[in-house]
Amino acid sequence: MAAQQTCYCPVDDLLDLLAKEYTLAIIGLLADGGTKRHSEIADALSVNSSSAFADRLSALTEAGLLERTSYDEVPPHVEYSLTTRGREFERRLRPLLQWVTQETG
């Protein structure tokens, strides 16, 4: 009888998102700095591609890691923050970061 193999398939979509430009930087910035405006995040990350950046914010929001709050003011603005799930995810990333920096540092 063959041994049962662990399937990591359920995390494929999340890993695809994490591998994309800006994803981990956005999560780290919001974890350390709290709620930020779209432009504050873009400035802090020296965004080169506004479309890729906007796509990443949308994908993180759809994944339930970010909350998007839109204010109907003049001028209108949007703020992003980590959701409870996003904060939990960031906490789970910290041991991975420690492991990677020990291996390379």
pLDDT-derived band of residue 91, with 50, 70 and 90 as boundaries?
A: very high
Question: pLDDT tens digit string along 31-53?
Answer: 999 999 999 999 999 998 899 99
pLDDT-derived band of residue 90, with 50, 70 and 90 as boundaries?
A: very high
Question: pLDDT tens digit string along 48-88?
Answer: 889 999 999 999 999 999 999 999 988 888 999 999 999 99
Q: For residue 75, say if its preceding peptide bond is cis, omega within 30 degrees of 0.
A: yes
Tokens coding 31: 């974890």
Q: Count Cβ atoms within 10 A of the Cβ of residue 41 and give its class: 0-12 exposed, 13-18 middle, 19 or more buried.
A: buried
Domains annotated on the chain, with CATH: 11-104 (1.10.10.10)
Tokens coding 4: 């049962």
